[in-house]
Amino acid sequence: MSAISQIGTILLLIIASSVPVVISILFLQWILKMENIKCSCSVDWKREYIKHYIFLYLFALGVNLLSNIYNIINNKNPNVLLHYFNVLMGLLTIINIIISIIYINELKNNRCLCSEDIRREIYYYFNIIELSIQIFLIFIMFIFMIMLFILGRK
């Protein structure tokens, strides 16, 4: 891979990583704001799970970004251990998406006024879009597996 191609790929990785980082930081700020103002109607195990997940997610994004940059610069294949870590993070992400949607719905249904914030709405719709994408990808993988099975039997 040429140096210009490497730089372009690295810049693309950084740009692609920035959107989830910004959204996660915004949502983390919202969670911490509710803690700081002692928003009693927002106290829930789901809030704690989401907060801890975001810290783990930001760490995982950083590790992935640095690992990918290292692999691009040194022209290496991705580490197998990193692959398993990403699979685990993918499962935790799906769990977090579902918990976040449920948690925000509960806050809205309970009319938790101290939780109202544009960041809540951004994260809510971001998670709905992300869940839709995950379901679509799982559906595509399922169809692909069926096609491989059918073609393998011929």
**Could you read off the pLDDT of 88-108 as tens digits, one per residue?**
988 999 999 999 999 999 999
Q: Which residue, 49, 61, 48, is CA-closest to 22?
A: 61
On average, the pLDDT of the chain sits at 89
Q: How many CA atoms lie within 13 A of 34 on its CB side?
A: 25
147 found inside a domain: no
Residue 133 lies in a domain: no
What's the chain's length in residues? 154
Q: What distance in Å separates the CA atoms of residue 148 and residue 154, rounded to the nearest whole number?
A: 10
pLDDT at 14: 83
Specify if 60 maps to a domain.
Answer: yes
**If pLDDT is split at 50, 70 and 90, which confidence band does 1 have?**
low
Note whether 104 and 41 are within 8 A (CB).
no
pLDDT in tens, 31-52: 999 999 999 999 999 999 999 9
Per the structure, the count of domains in the chain is: 1
The structure tokens 């096609």 sit at 147
Question: Residue 154: its pLDDT value, please?
Answer: 64
- In this prediction the pTM is 0.80
Domain that holds residue 21: 3-127
